[in-house]
Structure 1
Amino acid sequence: MREPVDLRHQRIVAAVEGRGSARVSDLAAELRVSVVTMRRDVEELARAGRLRRGHGVVHSTGAAQQSPGSGTGTGTGTRTGADIDTPDPDGDTVAVVVPERHSYLYETLHGARTVLAEAGLRIALHIAPQTAGAERPLAERALAAGARGLLLAPRWRTRDAEEADHGWLAALEVPAVLMERRPRAGGALHSLDSVCSDHWYGAHLAVEHLVALGHRRIVFATRDDSPTARSLRAAFTEIAGAHPLVEEWAWALSSPGVGKDGPYTARETADVPTLLRELGATAAVLHSDVDALMTVQRLTENGVRVPEDCSVVAYDDVLAGLGTIPLTAVAPPKAEVGRVAAELLAQRLKSGRGPGSPVRRVELLPSLTVRGSTRQPIAPQE
């Protein structure tokens, strides 16, 4: 039979008052409840003024009157009220779950590190392998180990994989923030906080840059195996289809094997140099940087000069500037996404989400860096 919450709260208060302070993880083990449940109980008791929370430690209200040298502490592993604001070396932990081999999201992680450290939070990094559903067991393991919150960037190579994760993400009992993932309006994750680049605006920057140079026929080649890739495909389709100065355009996969939501038409799987010739295009926007750099190499091998014969814009700007021809590129605010997501999570951990506290969905605008891979067409189209 499950123990009543009020009785459990009484046992928690009695245990802490008898020692002066105790680790949350120790209390959870002693009372045989999960760390997540214990943290929730401690937060309720702290709001009621019956206990005081520290970094991974809970203190009795009487401990606030004790001085560091009073000799009334509890010994090894505990702290008195005088040093409550000093981060505990084994203190509060935030789990960060990102896909392996994803330099874009690793930059996002760098943006989160400083914010979390300043908040007294330790990062526990979990790298998800390239298999469907890999994030869930990592997140569950992190929570079982005592993580107070989650920063998540699931790979979600297909829409089905994304939807398969909705149930357990929506049921999380700790604060969680999605990074570079936008919950669908009205879906199961609609109430989850998220911080994301506005990839529609990034696509807009690329198209407007090329159109302003005089390009009228453009090939868009993107990956199609992540939420970002699918957002870009939709954005390019919308923008190019409605733009009064874009005469012809086509979309294709940026390289074989990066499409997971097919089937695709023959044109959509065509080699980019071939598609450029068929369309008479003078420009291409390519996602991601690696695919863009490799496409430029193939163009050179086929006698197509960049930018003289074909202007190229890359999307991501992680490696775009390192090519033999530095590529003009759209740069999502990767580090800033991580920083803002970490700030939001730290705020949730500090104050929780009470009645009337709105869900936050933050979008940050990408920027365009012009380099040597774009110029006016040699023979501008009329």
Structure 2
Amino acid sequence: MREPVEVRRQRILAAIEARGAARVSDLAAELQVSAVTVRRDVEELAREGRLRRGHGVVRSALAAQELPAATPPEGDTVAVVVPERHSYLYEALHGARAVLEAAGRRIALHIAPQVAGAERPLVERALADGAAGLLLAPRWRTRADEEGDYAWLAALGVPAVLMERRPRPGSALHAMDSVCTDHGYGAHLAVEHLVGLGHRRIVFATRDDSPTARTLRSAFAAIAEAHPLVEAWAWTLSAPEAGRDGPYTAGETAELPALLREVGATAAVLHGDVDALMLVQQLADDGVRVPHDCSVVAYDDVVAGLGTTPLTAVAPPKGDVGRAAAELLLQRLAAPRGAAGPVRRVELLPALSVRGSTRARSGAAASAG
């Protein structure tokens, strides 16, 4: 199945930002496409200023950026720690970058590999190198991973802000600044949009391997269970590799087209975009037309609008999360020690982008909502 162009380019960016630089031939082998295709993608990404290219080599725009004539004074560095291969959080990173660079702060980017506990050694290295503050987005695939990081994060000793991560109430990390999307409101937007179009049976498919995914799963279940107009609903993993916390029931790992038939659903909400785009293709192979037979809403809106059928999607304010986190960190760094004020939890609302993958249910009188 051919991968969408923007998804492939996001994978190229993730690979470059994780390594700093890579050869075109190595990227082509990794992505299982031709070198010509990679060169074309690289040229477009370089034109957009998202990476730098040389003779056969591609470099990160962040790593390749020239330093100012004068090296920033000691203590002006902000370390940013994000997971590898996470295009959603890379958008937050670019939002933070704009704010920090405008303030004259040097950025030290650290990419955490996909293993439990990968962030701690990166943070320790950043602090040893003299980082004055931290912006953090730990992967936290499981709740155990999350809780295992609480104690050492609470004892950092420098200003730090979590991006798209919300410490659990009463935990050792409860008193840490954070900037997060209100994903519960995002779930509400998706459900109300579909119910307003007359859909009464809905399938929800999310990942289950990040705090965002777990929040969405819980929010969709609570909203659907309490909604007076939702007659039936079911939840399943959006992809076989999307969960780590199992065990799951057979229904919670069911193939989406089969689950839609079982529930009699006329709509589906998926986290995230790629899984939603692939569902549309699977449904087309089964003779199910989107949106005529089934409406589909994606959650993330990174590449949702690029499908053959552009997907209606909930769009978290990814860049704004990074910008708000960086602004909050700068306030902490500028305040006298011990006078930074109360802990802040900033919550930003997502928006719904309505496109061609949803429509009023055939034969139903949809409300104006």
TM-score, length basis structure 1: 0.76
1:224 aligns with 2:208: yes
Q: CA deviation at 1:236?
A: 0.2
Q: Is the 8 A contact 1:215 1:381 kept in 2?
A: no
Partner of 2:325: 341
SS in 2 for 1:286: strand
* Residue in 1 that maps onto 2:355: 371
**Which segments of 5 or more consecutive residues in structure 2 lack a partner in the other structure?**
1-67
Structure 1 segments unaligned to the other structure (5+ residues): 1-85
By how many angstroms is 1:119 displaced? 1.5
**Of the two, which has the highest radius of gyration?**
1
Mapped partners of 2:70, 2:134: distance in 1: 19
Q: Structure 1 residue aligned with 2:233, among 221, 237, 249?
A: 249
Question: How do 1:178-217 and structure 2 match up within 5 A?
Answer: 178-217=162-201
How far does the alpha carbon of each residue in 1:50-88 deviate from its partner, in whole angstroms, 9 at most, with x for none? xxxxxxxxxxxxxxxxxxxxxxxxxxxxxxxxxxxx995
Deviation per CA, 1:327-362, whole angstroms, max 9, x where unpaired?
000000000000000000001001046358100000
Residue identity in the other structure for 2:80: V
Q: How far has the Cα of 1:377 moved from its partner?
A: 1.4
Give me the CA root mean square deviation: 1.5
Deviation string for 1:163-208 (max 9, x for gaps)? Answer: 1111110000100000000011111101100000000000000000
Identity %: 76
Deviation for aligned residue 1:296 = 1.0
CA distance in 1, matches of 2:299, 2:209: 15
Asked if 1 retains the 8 angstrom alpha-carbon contact of 2:332 and 2:340, the reply is no
Amino acid at match of 1:116: L
2:204 and 2:173 mapped to 1: Cα distance?
30
Say if 2:188 and 2:223, in contact at 8 Å, map to a contact too.
yes
Provide the residue aligned with 1:39 in structure 2. none
Distance 2:335 2:94 in 1: 24
Is 1:235 the equivalent of 2:210? Answer: no
1:119 correspondence with 2:103: yes
Sort the Cα spacing of 1:112 and 1:123 in 2 relative to 1 into closer, same or farther, 3 A.
Answer: same
Matched, 1:168 2:168: no
Counterparts of 1:346-365 in structure 2, within 5 Å, are 346-352=330-336, 354=338, 357-365=341-349
Q: Select which of 124, 142, 161 maps to 2:126.
A: 142
TM-aligned CA distance change 1:101 to 1:219, over 3 Å: same
Distance 1:225 1:95 in 2: 25
For 1:106, what is the secondary structure of its paired residue?
A: helix
Distance (Å, rounded) in 2 between the aligned partners of 1:134 and 1:302: 41
Partner of 1:68 in structure 2?
A: none
- Report the residue type matching 1:370 in the other structure: V
What whole-Å deviation, never above 9, does each CA across 1:137-162 have from its counterpart, x for those lacking one? 00110110111000000000000000
Letter in 1 for 2:195: V
TM-score of the superposed pair, with normalisation by structure 2: 0.79
Q: Using the TM superposition, give the Cα deviation of residue 90 of structure 1 relative to its aligned residue in structure 2, in angstroms.
A: 3.4
Task: Note the C-alpha offset of 1:380.
Answer: 2.7
Which residue pairs with 1:76 in the alignment? none
Query: 1:90 is matched with which residue?
Result: 72
> Take 1:204 and 1:151, find their aligned partners in 2: how far apart are those partners?
29
Kept after mapping to 1: 8 A contact 2:72/2:105: no
The C-alpha deviation readout for 1:4-37, integer Å capped at 9, x for no partner, is xxxxxxxxxxxxxxxxxxxxxxxxxxxxxxxxxx
SS at match of 2:175: coil
How far does residue 381 in structure 1 lie from its aligned partner after superposition?
Answer: 8.5
**How far apart, in 1, do the equivalents of 2:192 and 2:114 lie?**
35
Does residue 131 of the first structure (1) align with residue 115 of the second (2)? yes
Cα drift, residue 297 of structure 1 = 0.9
Query: SS at the partner of 1:155?
Result: coil
Q: Per the alignment, do residues 100 and 155 of structure 1 end up closer, same or farther by CA in structure 2, a change over 3 Å counting?
A: same
- Matched residues in 1 for 2:336 and 2:345: separation? 16
Letter matched to residue 357 of structure 1: G
